[in-house]
Amino acid sequence: MENEGIVVEHVYKSFGREKVLKDVNMKITPGQIFGVVGNNGSGKTVLMKCICGFMRPDKGRIYVDGRRIGREVDFPESIGVIIETPGFIPHETGYTNLKILAGLKGLIGKNEIRNTLRKVGLNPDMKKPVSKYSLGMRQRLGIAQAIMENPRVLILDEPFNGLDKNGVEEMRQLLKGLKAQGKSIMLASHNARDIEELCDVVHDMEDMWE
């Protein structure tokens, strides 16, 4: 299946009396980085979870690669995700964590895992357990798990958290390369420069309440 991107149509989501998403509409096409901005509590993470199939919207439709989430498929098939802090087995190495995750789908082998770790600036032979990783190293590992299976669609919620200046620049270049490969990328970041430098389109979550 070719990458048909993400389409969000008239999506609403409430938790009790709290309305979090109100008539959200967007289209993210292949080869595009789509920025999502807004204050904490504006619904960025909830929207991303709905796109990934982790939550169901109260109203509206979401399509990933042309298939409706919750109707034609529960979870998008070719999607890489960072939402909140990635969870890893603390006493295992980064390589072992990715090997375990890769085993769930069986799409890639050890060479792809090792190459992905190098791509995000981690040594695949490092014996240090994830519990001893710095915040930046853990974030690099989170990016690695999101991209290792070469997904057509990437959902990235604050992917640069914990990275130092050099790390942020390295990951920006990585995302630009993935965009050039035709990936559909949705990016949430509090850093205005990330949004300005990387994104082709920006959606402000605050606008839906105006």
pLDDT in tens, 69-123: 999 999 998 999 999 777 899 999 999 999 999 999 999 999 999 999 999 999 9
Mean of the pLDDT values across residues 136-165?
95
Does 131 fall in a domain? yes
pLDDT of 53 above 80: yes
User: Are residues 110 and 72 part of one domain?
Assistant: no
- Give the pTM: 0.92
- DSSP assignment of 96-159, as one string? HHHHHHHHHHT---HHHHHHHHHHTT--TT---BGGG--HHHHHHHHHHHHHTT--SEEEEEST
What single-letter DSSP state applies at residue 87?
A: P
User: Are residues 1 and 52 part of one domain?
Assistant: yes
Query: Residue 183 maps to which CATH number?
Result: 3.40.50.300
Average per-residue pLDDT for the chain:
93
- Residue 65: pLDDT band with limits 50, 70, 90: very high
User: Are residues 199 and 103 part of one domain?
Assistant: no
Does 171 fall in a domain? yes
Mean of the pLDDT values across residues 25-29?
95
List the domain range (segments joined by +) for residue 183: 1-78+152-210
Domains: count for the chain? 2
Does 85 fall in a domain? no
pLDDT of 202 above 50: yes
User: Are residues 68 and 3 part of one domain?
Assistant: yes
What single-letter DSSP state applies at residue 190?
A: S
Query: What is the strand order of the sheet 184-188 is part of?
Result: 79-82, 153-157, 184-188, 32-37, 201-204
User: Are residues 157 and 74 part of one domain?
Assistant: yes
User: Are residues 139 and 112 part of one domain?
Assistant: yes
User: Are residues 1 and 73 part of one domain?
Assistant: yes
